[in-house]
Structure 1
Amino acid sequence: MTNEEIKALLALLQSTNVTLFELEQEGVRIKIQKSPLPAGEVFRLPASRPSAGELLDQASAEQSFQSVPPAKTNTRTITAPIVGTFYRSPSPEAAPYVEVGSVVQKGQILCIIEAMKLMNEIESEFEGTVKAILMENGQSVEYGMPLIEIEIGPET
């Protein structure tokens, strides 16, 4: 990825409400997190790739989101693995993948997140019953945002 492409990406992200963005392309991983900087302070890209220790750790990324109350012990939450746009169905005229009350199997497609013109199918990690769909169709989502709650059986 060239410096011009990175600058264009930064300019695009400045005009949005996205606070965390990750991109991996051709073996290069870029992670951008917005944070308020004091006036006059400028972020500069390093001339070389940062080491693993210099990358933003997962714990501080999770702190940028509002706290979500803990789920009931038998309820699991499917969260957004990427930044994008949430869709409940494969096309506008198609039926949603799942509804509240739908029984789902592990690996079953629950929704789609569109990111950079790619449709990413989000699969269930659990067997159970859909208890809540927490996003509206066409809503922007950020990494880690809760999407769907699934009530699981006592054996899981």
Structure 2
Amino acid sequence: MDLKEIQNLIKFVANSGVAEVKLEMDDVKITIRTTLEGNTTETTYVQQMPSQPVHQQAAPLPVAVIPVAPVEAAADSHYITIKSPIIGTFYRKPSPDKPMFVEVGSTIAKGDVLCVIEAMKLFNEIESEVSGKIVKILVDDMSPVEYDQPLYLVDPS
């Protein structure tokens, strides 16, 4: 697992609202913890696993401490949240050489394609179920998304 994959995992966990994630692979052990109340911080530990068993194991080193801003629920209450209908990888473009489907400020109509989510080598176009204006894009391009994860905030007025 390279640094970019670890950084994407950190972003994903920060956006998902999960308190703790542990991932163990053959040679790497990763723990990501978030505190979602009061002072919000995220701590990530990456530990290289030895190839041969060792009797004493070193403590994991913190890789990143990233503050996570509290959600502004009151300001966003009149917006409609468009959520992911499936688990997969979120793409804002139909292909690398094409323009983005939508940007912040774009006016959308019911049935407009907002993004593509790749799941098991299939690219699923996600269409809008509402009309309005894109206020905020909540997920980075080429990021993993979970079922029911917020993707966009739309102002229906």
Q: TM-score range, shorter-chain basis?
A: 0.5 to 0.7
Which position in structure 2 is the counterpart of 1:119?
Answer: 123
* Structure 1 residue 101 corresponds to structure 2 residue 108: no
More strand by share: 2
Indicate the residue corresponding to 1:128 in structure 2: 132
List per-residue Cα deviations over 1:30-89 (Å, max 9, x = no partner).
Answer: xxxxx99xxxxxxxxxxxxxxxxxxxxxxxxxxxxxxx7657343101101100000001
TM-score in terms of structure 1 length = 0.53
Aligned AA (1:140): P
Q: Runs of 5+ in structure 1 lacking a partner?
A: 1-15, 19-34, 37-67
Give % identity. 47
- Opposite residue 150 of structure 1, the aligned amino acid is V
- The yes-or-no answer on 1:141 pairing with 2:145 is yes
List structure 1 segments (4+ residues) > 2 angstroms apart after TM superposition.
68-74
Give the SS at the match of 2:139. coil
Q: How big is the alpha-carbon RMSD for the aligned residues of Structure 1 and Structure 2?
A: 2.6
Normalised TM-score (structure 2): 0.53
SS at match of 2:116: strand
Structure possessing the higher relative contact order (Cα contacts under 8 Å, 6 or more residues apart)? 1
Q: 1:80 aligns with which of 75, 79, 84?
A: 84
For residues 143 and 70 of structure 1, the distance between their equivalents in structure 2, rounded to whole angstroms, comes to: 21
Q: Structure 2 unaligned runs (5+)?
A: 1-8, 13-20, 23-70
> Normalized per residue, which structure has more helix?
1
Q: How many residues align?
A: 93
